[in-house]
Structure 1
Amino acid sequence: MTKEPKDLQDVGSKPDGSSLWRHRDFMLLWSGQTVSEMGSAVTQIALPLVAVIALNASTFEVGLLAAAGTLAFALIALPAGAWVDGGSKRSIMIVCNILRLVIIGSIPVAAAFGVLTMAQLYIVALAAGVCTVFFDVAYQSYLPSLMSAEHLMGANGKLGTTQAFAQLGGPSLGGGLVGAFGAAGAMAVDALSYVVSVLSIFGIRKREDPPKPRTDESLRRRIAEGLRFVIGHSVLRKVVACTGVANLFSGMSWSLAMVFLVRELHVSPALTGLVMAGGAVGGIAGGALAGRLAKKIGSARIIWVSVLVFGAPQVVVAFAWPGWGVLLAPLGWAIAYFAGMVYNVAQLSYRQSVTPPELMGRMNAAVRWVVWGTMPLGGVLGGLLGTLIGVRPTLMLALIGSWAAGWFVFFSPFRHMRDIPESVPEPATP
């Protein structure tokens, strides 16, 4: 367990929201990440629009561009965890954001000189994805060194709220910027957002303990050590199974979302974004209330309650019908986002509290490698089953499967615990 930083002791040791608002280092990290998340959400809209509008890309080329942005998670997540554990997480975050500033900023520069190509977009998507992998692993591993374990739930909740808010407001902001400055010009906003993030991280006063040198082990052995820790930990293993299965079925449902709205519910393409935004509202509420719910229900119990109880009504999406019945779709997705955000905040806080600091990066990388790896498979299964048995039955199956993943964490020690103990014995790994 990490020691409580002195600047947090000054404001009191109770894990309430007001103490985090007065935690200078966390507020710097949070504010910088908020700006960066909004910029990244703009790029999610602007990058494919650059390909379509400026370069007249085909549907297949746009699909390859989307794949290039996520390929890095499958390729380098595991070695990224080992490298993060062997270096300064704060320095890695700064370097990654400087590199993303240059990489993303190259697009509006190339467009201005008339030399932009699809090859450059592919390289930018892949290179920015690599930086994102390293930043995200370092980011999740750095937070426990910034504050005590009792404040992790509240801190992760605020960071989760930022992500959900970016998902809600980012596309609208991106559309407005594209209309005002063009698709390439809008990407300059994302590039500048990394400047704010870098300055915020530079302003953090607390320094993490330097990592112990590990010159006696190969990279492969260090990666294997992180995997063994996750697989050998009886509770973490259940958390990974729950998250991975839930992401598999979520990938199925989201792959069918647009088809369901347009072809089954007859929603106009112009309104589909508004309907999908309903889910982000649930995510914002989940991030804002995760800490309070954990205190009321229990920081351990909330992990399975969030999925099996809060998430159960999400199946109403599959019962939506044209007309006013369309409202069941954003309602169900908002419930799913709410339950998912509360679960993610709780399980991430647990993972951070039970992992030794020297394994933090590899643990986060190993978990992310597994649970993100199931999402593309879910998309393929969704398209296949949607063709074979129909969109609505497949969507119902996906929603039920996502909810049923919660039984993995129910049949674990969490079922007999109310709160996560402050000191958790380190499990033996095989």
Structure 2
Amino acid sequence: MGRSVWRQPGFALLWAGEGTSQLGAQLAGLAMPIVAVTMLQATDAEMGYLNAAQTAAFLVVGLPAGAWLDRMRKRHVMIAADLVRALAVAVVPLLAVLGRLELWHLVVVGAIVGVATVFFDVGYQSFVPVLVADEHVGDANGVLEATAQTMRLGGPALAGVLLSFLAAPLVLLANVAGFLVSVVALSGIRDGEVVRPRSERRHLLVEIGEGLRFVAANDLLRRIVATVALSNLGSTIVFTLLPIAILRILGIDPAVYGIILSIGAVGGLAGSMLAMRIARWIGEGPAIVWSTVVFVLAGVLLPLAVLVPDAAVVLLIVGEAIFGFTVLVFNIVQVTARQRLCPKPLLGRMNASIRTVVWGVMPIGALAAGGLGTAIGTVPAMWVGVAIGALAIPPFLLSPLRTMRSLPTRPRGAEEMVAEV
């Protein structure tokens, strides 16, 4: 039996850096919408612009980012991305203290952070198989996602406490601190990654094309892209408008909002811890299929909560918990399958190709949320998002994945074949 994932060199530092970065991100994830809705009186359309700015980078630079990452040491790129994010987020509390903060500042900061996040996230998903032996990749993903969910569990509650005596922009300083701690931790890793020499590189467009063709030629990856893209499009519409529904329509206090998200995150924590066990129990294919069905159905509870104010808090908690549990099961199993399937020289481009599509729909969803919310109202627009998310079910439910206990892995010698292209 192989060594524990905790004994893989550098993994503990990656885990520590990710944990603190995730905690800061959770504080920011609650503070930014509160700043927009309560301090700057953002409309539905303006919330759409803000969310679009935060996610547009995957649509704009996602593909070249993957090709560039396959030419560079991924850890160095992640460190640079953390530094850029820390500097950008620090601008918000500074402008707030000076009394100069406006909504367009949040949009610009969101766009800058979004670009840096493209490079960090593609690098991060491509770095795990570099740092960890193949047999531990699934366990490593589970540990890192469990940590992220722990931060999602405690982060919003901590934000709620901080918001009771600090202005929302100042809570963003914790986000800055998280990015800086991540920089320190990543700087201590000695991964030994060797990048391809310049003599083996081809034109950037050729290398981008290799990643796209790899994804397009694989049935499993095509179905993952279709399902996640439709789910993200629908859920972005719902979650873009959710702060307005909770804070303005229901009138729930920001501190209570944070507690709702923290209690709901228990489901995500459980999903991250049980994902690989569930995959081993019912099979990897069925785990992906049925988690998709359930997280789509759980999304119904979020707009329903606005229609039943007396039960709103309970419905929000249950909806968040079920959604978090099943999304984490889905993500851990399918990301692990992708990492095992793809030759390592193509990891950056494969991940970037997929994320360009599945995250590229998110700014479209955010703008659609703003337009729909303005045209037909916040809650009806959320129901449109739920309906679009339901379209994510057929690509998996009507596929051979329903009976596949083990998903395919990269063929022996795949790295050599890529190197010879």
Q: Does 1:80 align with 2:65?
A: yes
Which structure has more RCO (C-alpha within 8 Å, separation ≥ 6)? 2
SS at match of 2:157: helix
The partner residue of 2:358 within 371, 393, 417 is: 371
The partner residue of 1:354 within 337, 341, 345 is: 341
Amino acid at match of 2:204: L
SS at match of 1:78: helix
Distance (whole Å) between structure 2 residues aligned to residue 372 and residue 30 of structure 1: 24
Within 5 Å, give how 1:221-236 maps onto structure 2. 221-236=206-221
Query: Which residue of structure 2 aligns with residue 153 of structure 1?
Result: 138
Describe the superposition over 1:190-216 as per-residue Cα deviations: whole angstroms up to 9, x where unpaired.
Answer: 222223212211222332232343665
Distance (whole Å) between structure 2 residues aligned to residue 420 and residue 120 of structure 1: 45
Normalised by the length of structure 2, the TM-score is: 0.82
Q: Give the CA deviation at 1:165.
A: 3.2
Distance (whole Å) between structure 2 residues aligned to residue 309 and residue 67 of structure 1: 27
Seen in structure 2, the aligned counterparts of structure 1 residues 409 and 102 have a Cα distance that, compared at 3 Å, is same
Query: Which residue of structure 2 aligns with residue 36 of structure 1?
Result: 21
The partner residue of 1:330 within 313, 317, 324 is: 317
Within 5 Å, give how 1:159-238 maps onto structure 2. 159-177=144-162, 180=165, 182-213=167-198, 217-238=202-223
Q: Give the CA deviation at 1:287.
A: 1.0
Seen in structure 2, the aligned counterparts of structure 1 residues 110 and 382 have a Cα distance that, compared at 3 Å, is closer
Amino acid at match of 1:300: G
> How many matched pairs?
410
Describe the superposition over 1:103-137 as per-residue Cα deviations: whole angstroms up to 9, x where unpaired.
Answer: 3345556667x496657655443322221111111
SS at match of 2:360: helix
Distance (whole Å) between structure 2 residues aligned to residue 337 and residue 237 of structure 1: 24
SS at match of 2:72: coil
Q: Give the CA deviation at 1:188.
A: 3.0
Amino acid at match of 1:171: P
1:308 touches 1:404 (CA, 8 Å); kept in 2? no
Seen in structure 2, the aligned counterparts of structure 1 residues 234 and 212 have a Cα distance that, compared at 3 Å, is farther
Normalised by the length of structure 1, the TM-score is: 0.80
The partner residue of 2:392 within 405, 424, 427 is: 405
Deviates more, 1:21-30 or 1:379-388: 379-388
Seen in structure 2, the aligned counterparts of structure 1 residues 212 and 304 have a Cα distance that, compared at 3 Å, is farther
Deviates more, 1:86-95 or 1:278-287: 278-287
Seen in structure 2, the aligned counterparts of structure 1 residues 24 and 249 have a Cα distance that, compared at 3 Å, is same
SS at match of 2:10: helix
The partner residue of 1:248 within 233, 246, 250 is: 233
SS at match of 2:18: helix
The partner residue of 2:77 within 73, 78, 92 is: 92
Amino acid at match of 1:71: A
Amino acid at match of 1:286: G
The partner residue of 2:327 within 340, 348, 353 is: 340
Amino acid at match of 2:11: F
Within 5 Å, give how 1:86-165 maps onto structure 2. 86-107=71-92, 114=98, 118=102, 122-165=107-150
Distance (whole Å) between structure 2 residues aligned to residue 148 and residue 163 of structure 1: 21
Stretches of structure 1 lacking an aligned partner (at least 5 in a row): 1-11
Describe the superposition over 1:296-352 as per-residue Cα deviations: whole angstroms up to 9, x where unpaired.
Answer: 122333111222357646545566534247523432332122111110111111111
Amino acid at match of 1:137: V
1:317 touches 1:331 (CA, 8 Å); kept in 2? no
Amino acid at match of 2:325: F
Q: Percent identity between the aligned chains?
A: 37
Query: Which residue of structure 2 aligns with residue 7 of structure 1?
Result: none
Q: Give the CA deviation at 1:48.
A: 5.8
Amino acid at match of 2:398: F
Query: Which residue of structure 2 aligns with residue 304 of structure 1?
Result: 289
Q: Give the CA deviation at 1:45.
A: 3.9
Distance (whole Å) between structure 2 residues aligned to residue 140 and residue 241 of structure 1: 19
Distance (whole Å) between structure 2 residues aligned to residue 390 and residue 315 of structure 1: 17
Seen in structure 2, the aligned counterparts of structure 1 residues 91 and 404 have a Cα distance that, compared at 3 Å, is same
Q: Does 1:20 align with 2:30?
A: no
Distance (whole Å) between structure 2 residues aligned to residue 351 and residue 134 of structure 1: 18
Describe the superposition over 1:128-167 as per-residue Cα deviations: whole angstroms up to 9, x where unpaired.
Answer: 2221111111111000111123322222222223333333
1:308 touches 1:407 (CA, 8 Å); kept in 2? no
Seen in structure 2, the aligned counterparts of structure 1 residues 196 and 260 have a Cα distance that, compared at 3 Å, is closer
Seen in structure 2, the aligned counterparts of structure 1 residues 335 and 106 have a Cα distance that, compared at 3 Å, is closer
Deviates more, 1:289-298 or 1:169-178: 169-178
Seen in structure 2, the aligned counterparts of structure 1 residues 83 and 176 have a Cα distance that, compared at 3 Å, is same
Query: Which residue of structure 2 aligns with residue 5 of structure 1?
Result: none
The partner residue of 1:70 within 29, 52, 55 is: 55
Seen in structure 2, the aligned counterparts of structure 1 residues 220 and 424 have a Cα distance that, compared at 3 Å, is same
Seen in structure 2, the aligned counterparts of structure 1 residues 344 and 58 have a Cα distance that, compared at 3 Å, is closer
